[in-house]
Structure 1
Amino acid sequence: MPLLALLLIACQVICGLHVVRSGQERYWIYLIIALPGLGCLIYALGIMLPDMLRSRRGRRAVNQLHDRFDPERHLRVLRNDLDISDTRETRVLLADELLRLNQAEEAASHYQAALRGIHAHAPEIMLGLARAHFAHGDASACRLTLEQLREHNPDFRSADGHLLYAQTLTQLGDVLKAEEEYRALLGYFAGPEAPLHYALLLKQLGRNREARELLEQIDSYARRAPKHYRNLHQACLAQARSELQELSKALDQPA
């Protein structure tokens, strides 16, 4: 059977399954069968594509495509929003986008500007400011901001903020305090980031076997975890595997 005929049959099957599973009118099936190529094209463009674009995955794919060709398109919109209305919300949204685009210094200035009035010690904004300081390489300012956050918001809890604090202590060379924070994080942190950064600290301290044990735990859990977990933490898990391979190679070498 010619390749083109096989492709047409495959397209008909895919479109037909979509008709049934999505509850479309049955006349689409007749159209797909009667006009194999044209019917599939009409159905794909008229029904399947809009349906995909309305889904969360479809919207994310479109946004990623837009970001690839014009990464600052959303940033321009947010700058315009701030020019029209200088509010806490427009400042924070702009700062979040700047931080996402690795423009941490400007992001910090907008987070700082948003900390005013009744929101002078808003915990989420202070956490954003701390992230911006850390991304900009100012670990001292990051630590100060996080400690002020805790002082003014004693009931506020953030696993990501706790991890950031441990990373900041590591950057500042306070490794004993950093290890204490990492040990606390291991008890409740949901993702692989906390054990990975703790393993990196242990490696830095020359405690390679302990570091490898943590990395093996990360890898073992990831192999058993659902696919969405591996997709969500793809970059972190890749780094953990790379570090594990490097440490295993070093430790398994004969003395």
Structure 2
Amino acid sequence: MPYFLIIALQGFCIYHAFKNNREYYWYFLIVLLPVIGCIIYLVTQVFNKRDLDVVQKEIVSVVNPTKKVNDLKKQVEFADTFQNRVFLGDALYEIKDYNSGIGEYEIALNGKYKSDSGVVKKLLEGYYQTSQFDKVIFCAEQINEKIDFKGSRSQFLYGLALGKQGRNEEAKENLKPIDQRYSNYEERYILAQFLINQGKIMDGKEILSEIILESQHMSKPNRHKYRRVVNDVKKLIESV
């Protein structure tokens, strides 16, 4: 098998294993036995779980991550519709090109879909990732009456943006709904940091203690997935 195909195959298998929180031994098998290890992984972990077409698309996205973007740009040139702009914005976000993605969403919202809350949420995410906190707040205040806003990531980013603007009490009120048991570990860790920095030591430590307790009942895949944040939680609670 040509060398570059082996590298591409390894890249896909490692990407798939990471994305799906596979056990560590798969990484060793893929790296140490490139061809055989990849074949075993594909047969046992991929082909019995996904259609071949989906697998092929994922391989292409690993080898050439901009192909999807280029294909969608051609689709927009052919038919400049709201949905095609949104698909292109999504693809740009996938490769972390937030500024370009924001541009596509802004164009999509120029027409009759300007109040589409789903796209407003995507814009809010992009504005946060590019540190445009005033625009995060503007977007959030367009959709904060929606039923699905409370406790969502959008509200959480809104709270963080308010904190960046020094509006700490408002920030706290919008960060707290993310504190939901057995979920949102990264966000709850950030919330605990925020509370501790605001002098709410006991409130912050209470959240950290809950995360540590919950981590003891995690499934094996979740222990692997959240290992880093749980370790950060333990370090923080020991330091305050």
Taking the aligned partners of 1:50 and 1:184, their CA distance within structure 2 comes to: 40
Larger Rg belongs to: 1
- What is the aligned partner in structure 1 of residue 215 from structure 2? 222
Contact kept, 8 Å, 2:89 with 2:101, in 1: the verdict is: yes
Taking the aligned partners of 2:116 and 2:136, their CA distance within structure 1 comes to: 16
**Residue 73 of structure 1 is aligned with which of 67, 73, 76?**
67
**Residue 159 of structure 2 is aligned with which of 166, 190, 193?**
166
Cα deviation digits, residues 212-231 of structure 1 (max 9, x gap): 33223213213312345446
- What is the aligned partner in structure 1 of residue 139 from structure 2? 145
Deviation above 6 Å: which 4+ runs of structure 1? Answer: 57-62
Letter in 2 for 1:125: V
Cα deviation digits, residues 197-221 of structure 1 (max 9, x gap): 2112023224445433322321321
Taking the aligned partners of 1:211 and 1:175, their CA distance within structure 2 comes to: 15
- The alignment's TM-score, normalised by the length of structure 2, stands at 0.69
- What is the aligned partner in structure 2 of residue 105 from structure 1? 99
TM-superposed deviation, 1:124: 0.2
Unaligned runs of 5+ in 2: 1-35
Contact kept, 8 Å, 1:212 with 1:244, in 2: the verdict is: no
TM-superposed deviation, 1:68: 3.8
Q: 1:155 aligned to 2:149?
A: no
- What is the aligned partner in structure 1 of residue 234 from structure 2? 244
TM-superposed deviation, 1:109: 1.1
SS at match of 1:224: coil
Structure with the bigger RCO (C-alpha within 8 Å, sep 6+) is 2
Paired positions, count: 200
Taking the aligned partners of 1:126 and 1:169, their CA distance within structure 2 comes to: 17
TM-superposed deviation, 1:155: 3.4
Greater fraction of residues in helix: 1
Name which of structure 1's ranges 94-103 and 61-70 shifts more when overlaid on structure 2: 61-70
Contact kept, 8 Å, 1:104 with 1:136, in 2: the verdict is: yes
Contact kept, 8 Å, 1:222 with 1:230, in 2: the verdict is: yes
1:188/1:243 Cα in 2 relative to 1: closer, same or farther (>3 Å)? closer
TM-superposed deviation, 1:100: 2.3
Cα deviation digits, residues 71-126 of structure 1 (max 9, x gap): 22222222222122111111111111212222111111111111133311000011
Give the alignment's Cα RMSD to 1 decimal: 3.2
Identity within the alignment, %: 16
Letter in 1 for 2:228: A
Letter in 1 for 2:81: T
- What is the aligned partner in structure 1 of residue 108 from structure 2? 114
- The alignment's TM-score, normalised by the length of structure 1, stands at 0.66
